[in-house]
A = this chain, B = another copy of it.
Amino acid sequence: MGVVVAIDDGNNSRASVKPLVELTREDMALVNQLILSKTGSEVAMIPEVAQHLIDSGGKRLRPMLTLAAARMCGYQGDRHITLAASVEFMHTATLLHDDVVDESDMRRGKQSARIVWGNQASVLVGDFLLGQAFRMMVDAGSMEALDVLSTASTVIAEGEVMQLAAAQSMETTEDDYLAVIRGKTAALFSAACEVGPILAATDKPVRDAFRSYGMNLGLAFQLVDDALDYGGSKADLGKNVGDDFHEGKITLPVLLAFRRGNGEEQQFWREAMESDSADSQSLQHAMGLLRKHGAIPDTVARARHYGEIARDALAPLPASSHKDALLEVVEFCVSRVS
């Protein structure tokens, strides 16, 4: 733990998303145009809320994955643009609903939409964006892609409900927690990658490779995110340090520290996470316990494990600039925290 690399630092000598950004630059310009046009509505509040989130500088990693996967599989058409935009809308809809569910005040360094426009607008504009995502899938015209993405949308919701049910119980196991993030985060990464080979009509093993790459990249990404929640600075993260802690959201660092802790420490975690009473003094104590038990570096080690699976999933596929870029994304994700 220590130095945190800023998320979009493409000039760093270490692994970066820059090659992926470069390779998808032209396509992403079209995706961004499409995203803009599909947030349009005569109902003024819809573009306002949607733009608030869309302008707030997300990395748009998921649509880039769709674009790169399609091109790497030799796809020559333009329907990957539509599916990439659709993937980003699914993600944005999820963020809007998540902020309501988590009662989050901040998102990507700005006030969350629910603070500016209220919970009601966040729920409804999320529904609108999800509807638009499905309309775009219909435009793309692939029933297989629709199958993969609609399934992802149910799995995401299942993951979120699972988290809700497990959220404030220290009885959550590491396996339970993996099931949660497999749903809430990794399912969309996986679907975003799988629709690329679907458009290119590749053989099943190629589709399977991309699905596995996306799933494991998503797990690695989320675990690093969980580690960063306790290890970054406010400016780097675009959210408050300790947000998960204050929300009583149990993540892997906490689960590791809890399981390795003595009775007194376990009592502290129970009180802090199972009640809503966590204050900044408790956060300092929690950070101390995380350090004592090496919970942050070990969470990152777990992330690295899934990152390796993601890399190996792509191993059978022929070398290409797209493949190199996708492999570097894995390294970038796990090296965001060091």
A interface residues with partner B (beta carbon < 8 Å):
41-46, 97, 100-101, 119-121, 123-125, 127-128, 130-132, 134-135, 137-138, 141, 143, 146-147, 150-151, 153-158, 160-162, 164-165
Contact = CB atoms under 8 A, between A and B. Distances in A.
A127 B165 contact: no
3 tightest Cβ-Cβ pairs between the two chains A and B = A131-B154, A131-B153, A128-B157
A137 B153 CA distance: 14
A138 B147 contact: yes
A87 to B, nearest CB: 14
B154 A146 contact: no
A124 B153 contact: no
Nearest to A120: B101
The residue among A44, A135, A147 with the most chain B CB atoms within 10 A of its own CB is A135
B154 A135 contact: yes
B161 A45 contact: yes
A97 B165 CA distance: 19
A212 B57 CA distance: 43
Total copies of this chain within the assembly: 2
Contacts of A146: 134, 138, 146
Contact of A125 (B100, B123, B147, B157): B157
B43 A128 contact: no
B143 A127 contact: no
Nearest to A184: B124
Contacts of A138: 143, 146-147, 150
A106 to B, nearest CB: 18
A110 to B, nearest CB: 21
Nearest to A93: B127
B130 A44 contact: no
Contact of A100 (B42, B43, B123, B135): B123
Contact of A158 (B46, B97, B160): B46
Contacts of A137: 150
A50 to B, nearest CB: 11
Contacts of A134: 134, 146, 150, 153
Contacts of A150: 131, 134-135, 137-138
A149 B132 CA distance: 11
B46 A161 contact: yes
Contacts of A100: 119-120, 123
Contacts of A157: 124-125, 127-128, 131
Given A41-B158, A131-B150, A138-B147, 8 more contacts: A41-B161, A43-B165, A127-B157, A128-B158, A128-B161, A137-B150, A138-B143, A138-B150
Contacts of A156: 127, 131
A26 B37 CA distance: 44
A116 to B, nearest CB: 14
B123 A135 contact: no
A112 to B, nearest CB: 14
6 contacts: A45-B165, A97-B127, A119-B119, A128-B154, A131-B155, A135-B151
Contact of A127 (B119, B120, B130, B135): B130
Contact of A124 (B128, B155, B164): B164
